Amino acid sequence: MIYLDNSATTRPHREVLETYINVSERFFGNASSLHRLGIESEKVLNRSRAILAELLEVESSTVLFTSGGTESNNVAIKGSLLHSHQKGNHLITTKAEHASVYQVFKELESEGYHVSFLPVDQDGLVSVEQLEQAITKETTLVSISHVNNETGTIQPIYEIGQLLHRYPKIRFHVDHVQGAGKVPLSIKQSHIDLLTMSAHKFHGLKGTALLYVRPGLHLTPLFHGGEQEFGFRGGTENVAGAAAMAKAYKIHLEKAPSAMPGMKKRREQLIHHINRSEGITLNSHPTNGALHIINLSVPGYKPEVIVQKLAEKEMYVSTQSACSSKLNEPSRVLLAMGKEEELAASAIRISLSFESSDEEVYSFLCALDQLLPSIRKVVKK
């Protein structure tokens, strides 16, 4: 099997699974219970929170556990607005955000909020100058992803943070799901108020994520019925999931220094092959982008056919993000970058992990070269 769909989800590390099973068996008590079993579970939860906080270089009290990146994004955006609804109704994001951010803002727009969806350039980058021009006295929230989930474009989060630091009324939310552990980002130096991460993007388990909330910043909970997670999120805590997430992120950061050069080499191998292949267009920036995400288009082909044919060979890639892949529509992100509809409708995403090898990439490229001529007569427009 050759798995190149790591931006959709990664394969959990064996050590992570063992951590989850061990904690589930030994510390099964409800972390909110007052008896010994509950207190022991609470200690594991707090230790997991402390480990992640240390790795992120933030305070433990700022790390909230959630069920996934989508929930974290929703809590950050909606919870922030519910708390500050009287301070202004202008919000800023981009046209190239993940669905769990973009769709939230579209919904808020329908509810009467004024939302500025900033354009991106041909490389998918937002302009800091345009962002500054969009700010008004009514602006209360800016939400911009660190690494684009389809193209790997890295947004200038540090520069945006420096700008927004001059506007203390504005909260700055960053979706860091695709960048975590692969593209360095300092929460404090970038003056980030809210940040989202998801465990299954770095070999943790699905169903566990975190939301960083800057000290002193208040959110209105979306879930009610308990005072868990410092009162921000009611519900019985997923202690084993939190422990597994801490384990996964620690392993990921330990592997990164030695693994990143190999990932860079494999990205260059993919891009070199794409650029010399007739009929294939590279959509990701060749040199300025996250090392693990490469987006290409094959005009004249249906991407879902290519994905399925490759899957028959036990080679796995995707079309758009996993959250949008079943919509069978042109990529909204690529359209926002000014790509023609034919390119946006024929896009494929290849996403690497630290476990990807040179041999896997070579075998995949050979299979792709052999596959395209065999299906051209069937799907060419």
pLDDT in tens, 20-64: 999 999 988 787 778 887 888 889 999 999 999 999 999 999 999
Same structural domain, 190 and 293: no
CATH number at residue 106: 3.40.640.10
Q: Is residue 282 domain-shared with residue 185, that is, in the same domain?
A: no
Please indicate, yes or no, whether residues 217 and 155 belong to a single structural domain of this protein: yes
Least confident stretch, 259-273, 337-351, 363-377: 363-377
Q: Is 323 a catalytic residue?
A: yes
Instruction: Find the domain containing 294 and state its range.
Output: 2-8+256-379
Together in a domain, 261 and 195: no
The Cα 207–Cα 9 span in angstroms is 12
pLDDT at 326: 54
Show the tokens assigned to 91: 């919000």
Q: Give the tens place of pLDDT for each residue, 134-166.
A: 999 999 999 999 999 999 999 999 999 999 999
Alpha-helical (H) ranges within 111-152 are 128-134
Say whether both 330 and 231 belong to one domain.
no
- The pair of structure tokens assigned to 330 is 């042109």
Q: Could you tell me if 168 and 244 lie in one domain? A: yes
Looking at the structure, tell me whether residues 67 and 175 fall in a common domain. yes
| pTM, 2 dp | 0.93
Question: Would you state the pLDDT for residue 373?
Answer: 87
**Are residues 71 and 197 part of one domain?**
yes
Average pLDDT, the chain: 92
H/E stretch holding 15 reads helix 14-26
Q: Write down the catalytic residue from 128, 323, 365, 375.
A: 323
What is the percentage of the chain residues whose pLDDT exceeds 90? 80
CATH code of the domain containing 303: 3.90.1150.10
Question: Looking at the structure, do residues 186 and 221 belong to the same domain, yes or no?
Answer: yes
Q: Which is more confident, 226 or 49?
A: 49
Q: Between vectors from CA 7 to CA 269 and to CA 251, what angle results, nearest 5°?
A: 90
Higher pLDDT, 46 or 227: 46
Statement to judge: residues 239 and 343 lie in one domain: no
Supply 76's token pair: 């950050």
Give pLDDT, residue 377. 47
Structure confidence at residue 327 (pLDDT): 58
Residue that finishes a domain, picked among 225, 250, 275: 250
pLDDT above 60 for 323: no
Q: Are residue 263 and residue 137 in the same domain, yes or no? A: no
Residue reference for tokens 């990146």:
69
Work out how many domains the chain is built from and give that number. Answer: 2
Q: Which residues pair with 197 in a beta bridge?
A: 210
- Cα dihedral sign, 279-280-286-288: positive
